[in-house]
Amino acid sequence: MIFLLLALFTLFFNSPILASGNTFGLHLTQTSDIDSAKNVINSSGGDWGWVTIVIRTDQLDSNTWQNFFDDCRKYHLIPIIRLATIMDGTSWKRPALSDIDNLANFLNSLNWPTLQQHIILFNEVNHASEWGGGVDIKNYTDTAMYAIQKFKSLNSNFLVLGSGLDLAAPDNLPNFLSAPNTFREIYSYQPQYFELLDGLASHSYPNYGFVGSPTDQGQHSIRGYQWELSFLKNLGIQKTYPVFITETGWPHREGEKPDNRYFTSETTGRYLTESLKVWASDPQITAITPFIYNYQNEPFDHFSWLDPIQNLYSEYKQIIDLPKLQNSPAQITRYEVKKTHLPFLIFIGNDYSGQIILKNTGQSIWGETSFCLNPQITPNVELNSLCTDNFVLTKPGDQKVFSFKFKIKNLPDYKGKTFLSWTNLPTYEITPLDDTGTIYHPKSDLIDKISNFFKNIFPYSP
């Protein structure tokens, strides 16, 4: 029996620890994809899953992106925004520092759905086509260092990930540089780059040729991120990174040009399901967003989860049925007073009602999240708290009316000032209207002038 208990104890504590939150998500092509992708991402018990999407320097439209972030908030999705420039011929234009400034200032101007704001610094920079037509790791490193400092200077809540690399790229400059030599060059040129990064963006594809199996190991597999972490550690980097697998997946035969090298969608759906179970056992993985949810043109139509008429390939529905977990991301709760309603005359000892109108200027939706503002009062005041409820949803930008009750008590020995106040809200002074101290009014310059006018006409004498 003792040996059995020891065996069970060892098995329990050496078993993989399941992820503590929802890691599942999708890589989107355009912001409108969110309308249907939400039903896949947060299916089967999932909440606050992930979406990776690209923002280009020629797509900085405030309405488009604020609406996207508002939809992420409404549908409980955490965005990961990958930075991009524009196409220049067959390559992505190399970003200038002014591009970084524009992207950072724009993204910082938006109201994100969560406290942490995830950014990826461009894409597969060990490909010439992704960096202005020629691999230049030193230039990427300089640009990335500038970007990290720029984003962090604007908002410490930006969580910045480096470029995901093509882990299967060969050494063939100036067109390609292998992942090991890319990491080596960055480390020898500017090791501080790795200290400044907040996480690892990994493209853990089943290579070579995207036809590996979920059981494969090593650099060119769905466990490629493990190779990356090990390689960085061997370089001398001691930092522990959360892992974001922002691209992965298998191509299927359906597409513009059927390709028998690829699998049926039944196989790719099964492989993805098996892989999600593998990744879920690794607590270092924060997010997984397979590539790509909706892409109907070459060369990525073979990776699309949706068919040409925008239906999910039936074999992928097994992923919807896969049980998922829930995240509880931190959000900023913030408000500002828009208007206050108090009685004009307040008789001592009587019960009164008032209202304060607060505008939601934070990230959370009141009613999904709740809070109470507790009274901060003087000894002669009774006042209740201001609390949200679960029946009325107040989105950022909207206003909510908070009703409250109060009473000024008759304390003859109290000589101090009288206030109505709540935590983090302005203080409202209530002053006697006359020398009897039985009638009060909310303090304001106008009411004080009227009160003084009548005091001068009708002076009080006991």
Q: What is the pLDDT of residues 380-420, one digit of tens each?
A: 999 999 999 888 999 999 999 999 999 999 998 888 899 99
- The beta strands (E) that lie in 320-389 are given as 335-341, 346-347, 351-360, 372-373, 381-383, 386-387
Last residue of a domain, one of 320, 350, 365: 320
Q: What is the pLDDT at residue 434?
A: 76
| Burial class of residue 190 in the structure, from the number of CB atoms within 10 Å of its CB (0-12 exposed, 13-18 middle, 19+ buried) | middle
233 and 371 part of one domain: no
Q: Which residue has the higher pLDDT, 17 or 273?
A: 273
User: Which residues have C-beta within 8 Å of that of residue 454, sequence separation ≥ 6?
Assistant: none
In a domain, 108, yes or no: yes
Q: What is the CATH number of the domain that holds 176?
A: 3.20.20.80
User: Which residues have C-beta within 8 Å of that of residue 302, sequence separation ≥ 6?
Assistant: 251, 252, 253, 254, 255, 259, 262
CA 371 centroid distance within chain: 21
Last residue of a domain, one of 266, 296, 320: 320
251 and 115 part of one domain: yes
Q: What is the CATH number of the domain that holds 402?
A: 2.60.40
168 and 23 part of one domain: yes
Last residue of a domain, one of 320, 345, 370: 320
Q: What average pLDDT does this structure show over 142-169?
A: 98
Mean pLDDT in the chain? Answer: 91
88 and 114 part of one domain: yes
107 and 29 part of one domain: yes
254 and 304 part of one domain: yes
SS3 of residue 326 by DSSP: strand
229 and 350 part of one domain: no
Q: What is the pLDDT at residue 253?
A: 86
In a domain, 7, yes or no: no
92 and 231 part of one domain: yes
**262: how many CB neighbours lie within 10 A of its CB?**
20
CA 389 centroid distance within chain: 24
Q: What is the pLDDT at residue 456?
A: 52
In a domain, 11, yes or no: no
300 and 341 part of one domain: no
Range of the domain at 161: 17-320
Q: Which residue has the higher pLDDT, 223 or 377?
A: 223
Q: What average pLDDT does this structure show over 92-108?
A: 98
- Give alpha helix (H) positions in 310-393: 317-320
Q: What is the pLDDT of residues 167-216, one digit of tens each?
A: 999 999 999 999 999 999 999 999 999 999 999 999 999 999 899 999 99
What is the value of pTM for the model shown? 0.89
Q: Provide the sign of the torsion angle of the four alpha carbons 267, 269, 272, 274, taken in this order.
A: negative
Q: What is the pLDDT at residue 459?
A: 52
283 and 352 part of one domain: no
In a domain, 123, yes or no: yes
DSSP label at residue 82:
E
In a domain, 330, yes or no: no
In a domain, 41, yes or no: yes
Task: Give the confidence band of 2 by pLDDT, cuts at 50, 70, 90.
Answer: very low
In a domain, 326, yes or no: no
Token pair, residue 5, equals 């208990």
316 and 450 part of one domain: no
30 and 169 part of one domain: yes
In a domain, 79, yes or no: yes
80 beta partners = 52, 118
CA 311 centroid distance within chain: 27
Q: Domains in the chain: how many in total?
A: 2
Q: What average pLDDT does this structure show over 301-316?
A: 92
